[in-house]
Amino acid sequence: MDDREVDLLGQICPYPVVNLIREALRLESGQTARFCVDDPLALKSVPEELSEYEGFTLEIVNQGRHWEIIVTRR
């Protein structure tokens, strides 16, 4: 399975969080997914929700009008 990019722009919480977690759980070990979000609430909610699962690293990058949440499964 290839690394992927998921566009969640325009979605408001809780939808970006629910979709991000669902997609992150589909990742295989070593895979990375980049999620584009523009709802600031997702920046708080995603790390909280993802911390409930083991084996993931998370990075948030400000891209100006949106953020890129990069999730890697270890």
Domain boundaries, the chain: 4-73
d(CA 5, CA 34): 5
Q: Which pLDDT score is estimated for 14?
A: 96
DSSP codes, 13-33:
TTHHHHHHHHHHHHPPTT-EE
pLDDT over 90 for what percent of the chain?
A: 95
Report the pLDDT averaged over residues 43-47: 96
Considering the domain 4-73 in this protein, what is its CATH number?
3.30.110.40
